[in-house]
Structure 1
């Protein structure tokens, strides 16, 4: 099964593409997303960067126009597609994230991306959204931080988990529009869509910015690896990424940036962060 089909927990760097839509339109070519500026440290300071936690949930449509149940009935694969939802995935998709933020206090909150195809599959297996999605709905709509924000922001995502930089602007916008329509029904938000966006596979390119702006999105999550690769002393490893492009190494060493690299323990982390 592809990695994208498994629930994942991520720590990501994010920030505003711009809180001012007019400013965003004027600076599309340079702002990128998540405060992602590959230029000088001064430029990085101009657009603040923030760190967030996100649960990424996705399952694809395994066979066109068929549900997991009918796929198995028709013998499309040599494994049970419906079995993909067995075990801990049920808890991942229905309960655990909502339960986690329910224990938070003060400013404590998190993000969750839920692809349209996953929610579509879930509905075919478990019925109406109000049943299996009830805990997520409650966390999104009723649990609030000390500032009145949702403790579980259901961020935007391409409906079918498409690699957006490889598609046209029209396709990008359609994927977001489809997700918006399902979003209202699945999470009972009354039409309020998140201002944040998770690009599938965390694949971001500046070419996505016009589509994100037109669809009313203000910020996008970008893998911290994009930033690590700009530092001269990044301890690159082929176990986790491609060799940094020399053209991107423009921010000096971590020492120059008043920072240091830290090795993570008891988790899969081939490089220091």
Structure 2
């Protein structure tokens, strides 16, 4: 009797899937705003500009060949508690474990396996995606997620692209364009970027990201004085042919983190 054939899909097909809406609890517990920290603050951010080059076309131009040609097994990582309501970023991290993290780990591994004969020539150091504590801890605080090199092992290497998680009532990319510098939304937008900048600076990383239940925004440090470039927001639900999804954006961030000459500022 012939065994069942395992279905496969390309890396691009796996990564371009839009994510299901995450239900927020109707009454988010207080405190409503992000906690202040004596080690960083909104005033640390001196300038914010656009990062238009972080887009679908750039990713396909650089890695379209391997994204379309490399095949992996189709795997369903969904869990029965996936659709429960969330009200805290720790619960959002659980959603990452269900909807995002396993796919990023598998697709990065598959990509580096395919590129293995060229990694030295391309000056790539394979990375993986994990919780913030999978990188070395610098100081008293650590980010929510990390991209670390496979070779350095658990909690031994720098976080090459830190990630900060949050829920949409506490942070939105739209708040960047608040008309008044003393507006609470404007302040909270910069406060979260200041936290991310603090982690990027501590690890020497050039790039990082903010992820909420609604969107992904990828961030690049332009210098060590609080000047940042931010990508266009990538909504949770965006996906499909020709669309930059949350998964694809994080995968590409991992590839940027693997670049030995460029990951650090």
Measured against the shorter chain, the TM-score band is 0.3 to 0.5
Structure possessing the higher radius of gyration over alpha carbons: 1
Q: TM-score, normalised by structure 2?
A: 0.32
Q: Say which structure, 1 or 2, has more relative contact order (CA 8 Å, 6+ apart).
A: 2
